[in-house]
Structure formats: C-alpha cells, structure tokens
A = this chain, B = another copy of it.
Amino acid sequence: MVRRSIPDIVVGRLPVYLRALSFLLAEGRQITSSQELGDRLGISSAQIRKDLSHFGEFGKQGTGYDIAFLYDQLRQILKVDRMWDVVLVGAGNLGKAIADYGGFAGKGFMITAIFDNDPDKIGKPMGINNLIVRDVSELANAIRSSEIKIGIIATPARDAAAVAKAMAEAGVKAILNYAPITITVPAGVRVQYIDPVVGLQRMTYYL
C-alpha cells in the first residue's frame, strides 16, 4: 500500500489538537468527541475526523475518543513523545525570554545551547537551564557534534539569513524563526515563523 503523503495543513493542525487534548486531560476528562473538540477549537467535527483518518482509526463509534489514548497517539505521530535538543541563537531580550520559557520541557523540547555574537553576552549564564552563552562561531561545530536537528533564531533580522545558513549546513532540519524576515533554506529544511507584527497586521485590515 502506498502511504499517500499527508497534507502539511493537516499536520499543522495536529499540534493544536494535541494542545486541546492536553487541557482535557488536565481537567480529568476521559472521553471526548470530534464535536466537542471542534467546538472548542472553532473548527468542524468533520474536519477533525478527516484529519485524524489520515493516520489511522483512533475512536469508537457511538462513544468518541479516549483522550489519553488519542493524546499518546498524536504525540507519537508528531514525534514529540521524546525530548528534542534545540539550539538557540540570539541572547538579547527575545532570546532571554525564550530561554526563560518554561513551556518547552513538557512538550518535547529542551534548549541545550545558546549562542550570540556579542562579547558582553558570551560566557554568561542564561535561561531556566542556566546555559552559558557561547560564541556563535562555535555554532556549526556544536550542532554537528550533538546532531541537533532543531534551531531557534532570535537574532536581529540582518543576522538571520547567515544563522539559518549555518544551521542548515550543520544539519539542522527545523528552524523556528523569530527574526522578522523571510529566510531561504535548502530543500528538506523547514521553517516556522513567529512575527507578532505580521500577526497584528493580519487583523488591522478588518478593523
């Protein structure tokens, strides 16, 4: 059987489903339905069932979905049933906030190295894991020796392209880019963008 490749847009919704399931779990709930999930997330129940059907059958007719089971299944599918080492470049205000963020650990990610090009920042401890900020010139070697696959860019826009290039050449395959600029990466490398200005400007049109 040829496993038809799954649309990016479907994969992109799974983390949102996962997050909702995690809240349901925390509320002590056992069972949910595509209807309930859809209501919570503002999407149709049909879409949730269709999305999940790409990966298998996870529910029971007449009953719905076992929350803990579906949660585990989605974590496996998304490969966040493990810990991923993440490298962070940029130790300014934003980098510090990211390094201080406590929300990664429970979701499959751990920042294990922080880099900057500012001599005033290099050598100082940062973040919840008290990592020593290292010189960005060591970035490529650090990625290679630890086989790190995930990078976060929190530099000014002007440095982002060079950092992305260095990351990709050293073997990073997934980049979370906080710099407000579109970056070009080789095929096989994925980028997700976080830009609050873009978020805000997507809404002002409707005001």
Contacts and interface: CB of A to CB of B under 8 A. Distances in A.
Among A12, A93, A203, chain B packs the most CB atoms within 10 A around the CB of A203
Interface of A: 11-12, 14-16, 18-20, 23, 40-42, 77-80, 84, 86, 93-94, 96-98, 100-101, 103-104, 107-109, 149-150, 152, 157, 173-174, 176, 180-182, 184, 190, 192-207
Contacts of A204: 78-80, 84, 108, 150, 174
Nearest to A157: B23
27 contacts: A15-B197, A15-B198, A15-B202, A16-B182, A16-B198, A40-B182, A40-B184, A42-B184, A79-B204, A84-B200, A84-B204, A84-B207, A86-B200, A93-B100, A93-B101, A94-B101, A104-B200, A107-B201, A108-B200, A108-B201, A108-B204, A173-B207, A174-B206, A176-B203, A190-B206, A194-B194, A194-B196
B205 A103 contact: no
Give the 4 A-B residue pairs with the shortest CB-CB distance, closest first. A97-B97, A174-B203, A15-B201, A192-B199
B79 A207 contact: yes
B96 A173 contact: no
Contacts of A199: 176, 192-194
